[in-house]
Structure 1
């Protein structure tokens, strides 16, 4: 019997010497070597032609459909060869670690030292930097733009919109070192796809591009899910997606935080303090945005946050002393300072169990309320008054966030009441919640910078504006005339709907998705004849957003049978009007669920 491999079944049954296995093995090896050689030759020819076409300014060739892998169609006889699946990869010559001879730092190091399984060892440490690989200036591109899915002109317009407008709402962290489309494409394909996706979402002229860009971004994200190493631009792309893409923000945020902790991103805090390193500060900005996204989502969905207030979060004041700390960084840490307060609020109240808030919480409510007031007083004077690209939004945004935080805090007193009377010891908080919700809508309608900010602000603020609107509608329905007059609520809601519809953004943007459902909800919940008989004029809110607009997209997106279908027209506004603090976003669809009982934080 041949000892080069196991015999076939027939030879085994007859106890014969088997040469089939050896022949097949030889054939497979020869085919594999031939295929590798041919594919390598094709790659060289294709690259040379791409280079020639690029020098002649001619359109590039489509990408090769063949790959360098061995995934060719096997012969039906190939299944007769027993081959073991490759197991986990090991480090045969692992890097020498200064801790190899010391006691293990963490338990996983002990397992790595005795198994040498590569997956157990992080490739990166806090003091190492792996800059993204950048294509040479003369090398051919191979991405969704070069393949013709998005034209160069459209991609350039989207990238410029993001870099010159939208990125300023995320403290200029998303663009990183890239200043134009060409440098961005050569530096990071996944960051390019993400930036184009977010820009198309905001641009009323790019509805046809949003789906293409979004699919490409998701494809690249999925392809990199199990990569051993991702670079900083990959984390930057996930920050952008978490900040603006409401339908996938929860998934992206959790995954990005996990990958950031793999490389101890937060440990760059010490490098900033000790070395004033700009590179370390860039890492800290990404970590802080992940903290902000995580805590925003925690508020929106009523779920525990992942990132805790460790030394890198609570020590933000130390960073302000560094020369690499910028004006945009001030805005960044101002948000963190507020979210630290909000985190303490969530720790106090915990998840909504349907029970009323205990009377003993009244003093803490007032303490948190004073902290939020102090936060606003400090940052309205500390931040830059006029921004080159987003006007007075930095200081106006502080005031808006103050109202959002007050609404989130004081709305807890309605928890578990099921439309019943608010206890006397919580009346001040009930009034404060209604006052904050009213101020949010009035600020949206009357303040130019806030209206313009509807194009660019993160989906968290859009979500909280929706909560303010629905909160007022439910207060009017449950406590008619007690905290606010019904006609006032109807007037504010109707004007808000008009403002949402007149904002020049893409049709899949949240402000357009919110408008129709909120309008139907107002008509269903507000029964006051005086409110219904005196609707506000149709020009009560001015158009906000980009200064060009596709008129077809400025029309209402649904009239009973559009994006929402008949759901909102016939579905359940008469359900239980509980004002519990539970999540109000559809996790799967990313659209607002105005129907469900207990619409809240």
Structure 2
């Protein structure tokens, strides 16, 4: 008789081995083992999810209610159930390419043809990445708003604020075809999340919402990192993040450019010339990525990714097409300036700590003239009053003119370590100080520029910070030579007050910049100057705005920052980008002497 358990009554009477008992016992043992395996697997999954949520700064999961496997410790020799890795996916019906019978032009095509690995397929087109709504009009929406993390009222307020104010500073590229919260939520959860994030960053009444929206956007970005296909709105969301979110802009910009090249976004240029609206939308996104990429390249002193392809250099052809709008005109004006600045960057290269060669002097004059010509053209093209942002488009041209001049001419301070500027670069040194002064005075005197602090990209905020730091370092190292120290300190204090009075969220750059700039200004007040150079006869008036040896007196008068120029009241501002770790910018790399300018606010 089997000793695994008591036999049933019939088997006991006949002294037989009990098969039924053995079957039941085996079944009980198998079910017990299955339960232990399942609960152990759940424990592992739960622990892994907790780790992922912790890295994403999201709330943890509640404890597991199952406890059967809580005390189970797997043996290193216990392999459990065999699990087979499915491996990379292949196309059972590989996509037919018109080049299948021709010699391959791209090596990856050959590898795809012989392996059919789906991840290697790179012939997607922008048409196939168009946003498509996966929810019917009556289908319930499941997102961070429906989950109660943000109320529907707050979400409506944030989206309306973005659509009516913020998006105009990105030429309405961010909103695309969407004009309300409902259409956004049904079509693109990630676009909804980033729009709410940017709006909460700018809204002083939404500080409690910024962290929630930001975490949701980052969560969705992380979840889609390895998605084989993403739609156009996903790339649009990354454009928005790169344009305004200074802490993640570099990462988002590079990733978005990679994903945009996968679908050959710039390849839609010819179709845009045929007045195809969908193709024009692709070009707007591509141009925005170009702007973000080159803004970041200026701010960080690093090489840009996007080069001047046919779509970039052919922007003038698009201006004659019916699909080209007034917002598109502002978009390509930025791109036209950045093409000039890209050439400047190629000329000077990375900062090696060496002074700029004297042979570069003619090139400085040439690029300075190009920037003047750019301003003369676009101030005429963008004279129309904007419905939502007033005169900012025209004034923004003047502001960007000063930003470009500062970036160009400040190179002459490279490698000097506080020593006097060579005589052959004196005109450029004067022009750099005049441009920085004009930037600050525009911010302090022009209403449209002050209003634009709420909405402009973080590139402009960063460049304003650079102008302020540049002037303070000029006062420290070249005291009284290019501008009076007292004037620099007075402007710096006024800028701090202006930053603090700007109604934005507490995590916005202008508030973070105020404390650091105030500390830097106090350091200058308490410290003696490094050099006492005799003042240079630079031809500037008391405002320090007049450029010398410029090719056009008309441009000089237009750039005059003393309120007597064509706009009577100072210059304007435009979008800024990137982090305030300004020590990484190449044009700040001239020695700060005995002063410690590396405050935590910067």
Q: Shorter-normalised TM-score: what interval? A: 0.7 to 0.9
Cα contact 1:132–1:233 (8 A) shared by 2: no
The C-alpha deviation readout for 1:246-290, integer Å capped at 9, x for no partner, is 0000000000000000000000101111x2100000000000000
Partner of 2:450: 451
The C-alpha deviation readout for 1:325-366, integer Å capped at 9, x for no partner, is 000000000000000000000000000000000000000000
Matched, 1:379 2:378: yes
Cα contact 2:300–2:584 (8 A) shared by 1: no
Residues 485, 406 of structure 1: CA spacing in aligned structure 2 closer, same or farther, 3 A cutoff?
same
Partner of 1:595: 598
Residue 444 (structure 1) shift: 0.3
Q: How does 1:190-589 map to 2 (within 5 A)?
A: 190-273=190-273, 275-527=274-526, 581=587
The C-alpha deviation readout for 1:155-183, integer Å capped at 9, x for no partner, is 00000000000000000011111111111
Residue 523 (structure 1) shift: 1.0
In 1, Cα distance between the equivalents of 2:480 and 2:589?
27
Residues 24, 404 of structure 1: CA spacing in aligned structure 2 closer, same or farther, 3 A cutoff?
farther
Cα contact 1:418–1:579 (8 A) shared by 2: no
In 1, Cα distance between the equivalents of 2:250 and 2:527?
39
Residues 332, 81 of structure 1: CA spacing in aligned structure 2 closer, same or farther, 3 A cutoff?
same
Partner of 1:47: none
In 1, Cα distance between the equivalents of 2:372 and 2:114?
56
Residue 528 (structure 1) shift: 8.2
In 2, Cα distance between the equivalents of 1:345 and 1:218?
35
Matched, 1:154 2:157: no
Residues 137, 579 of structure 1: CA spacing in aligned structure 2 closer, same or farther, 3 A cutoff?
closer
Partner of 2:53: none
In 1, Cα distance between the equivalents of 2:523 and 2:599?
14
Residue 579 (structure 1) shift: 9.6
Cα contact 1:88–1:117 (8 A) shared by 2: yes
Cα contact 1:416–1:580 (8 A) shared by 2: no
Matched, 1:140 2:134: no
Residue 337 of structure 1: SS of its match in structure 2? helix
TM-score under structure 2 length normalisation: 0.77
In 1, Cα distance between the equivalents of 2:209 and 2:130?
32
Residue 527 (structure 1) shift: 4.5
Residues 309, 594 of structure 1: CA spacing in aligned structure 2 closer, same or farther, 3 A cutoff?
farther
In 2, Cα distance between the equivalents of 1:445 and 1:197?
28
Partner of 1:561: none
In 2, Cα distance between the equivalents of 1:204 and 1:114?
57
In 1, Cα distance between the equivalents of 2:452 and 2:84?
58
In 2, Cα distance between the equivalents of 1:257 and 1:290?
7
In 2, Cα distance between the equivalents of 1:479 and 1:579?
20
Cα contact 1:302–1:583 (8 A) shared by 2: no
In 2, Cα distance between the equivalents of 1:236 and 1:115?
33
In 2, Cα distance between the equivalents of 1:505 and 1:218?
22
Aligned-residue CA RMSD (Å): 3.2
Residue 126 (structure 1) shift: 4.8
Residue 131 (structure 1) shift: 2.8
Number of matched residues?
491
In 1, Cα distance between the equivalents of 2:192 and 2:261?
24
The C-alpha deviation readout for 1:183-226, integer Å capped at 9, x for no partner, is 11111000000000000000000000000000000000000000
Partner of 2:170: 170
Cα contact 2:301–2:586 (8 A) shared by 1: no
Residue 80 of structure 1: SS of its match in structure 2? coil
Residue 578 (structure 1) shift: 12
The C-alpha deviation readout for 1:485-533, integer Å capped at 9, x for no partner, is 000000000000000000000000000000011011011013589xxxx
Residues 382, 579 of structure 1: CA spacing in aligned structure 2 closer, same or farther, 3 A cutoff?
closer
The C-alpha deviation readout for 1:91-124, integer Å capped at 9, x for no partner, is 1111222221111131100000001111000361
In 1, Cα distance between the equivalents of 2:257 and 2:272?
20
Residues 145, 194 of structure 1: CA spacing in aligned structure 2 closer, same or farther, 3 A cutoff?
same
Cα contact 1:352–1:582 (8 A) shared by 2: no
In 2, Cα distance between the equivalents of 1:320 and 1:422?
43
Cα contact 1:354–1:580 (8 A) shared by 2: no
User: Relative contact order (C-alpha < 8 Å, sep 6+): which is higher?
Assistant: 2
Cα contact 2:126–2:232 (8 A) shared by 1: no
Cα contact 2:421–2:429 (8 A) shared by 1: yes
In 1, Cα distance between the equivalents of 2:30 and 2:229?
37
Runs of at least 4 residues off by over 2 Å: 72-84, 125-134, 526-529, 577-584
The C-alpha deviation readout for 1:412-459, integer Å capped at 9, x for no partner, is 000000000000000000000000000000000000000000000000
Structure 1 residue runs of 5 or longer lacking an equivalent are 1-19, 33-63, 66-71, 530-543, 546-563, 585-592
Structure 2 residue runs of 5 or longer lacking an equivalent are 1-25, 39-60, 63-68, 529-571, 574-579, 591-595
Residue 581 of structure 1: SS of its match in structure 2? helix
Residues 162, 221 of structure 1: CA spacing in aligned structure 2 closer, same or farther, 3 A cutoff?
same
Cα contact 1:411–1:430 (8 A) shared by 2: yes
Residue 594 (structure 1) shift: 5.0
In 2, Cα distance between the equivalents of 1:241 and 1:127?
23
Residue 86 of structure 1: SS of its match in structure 2? coil
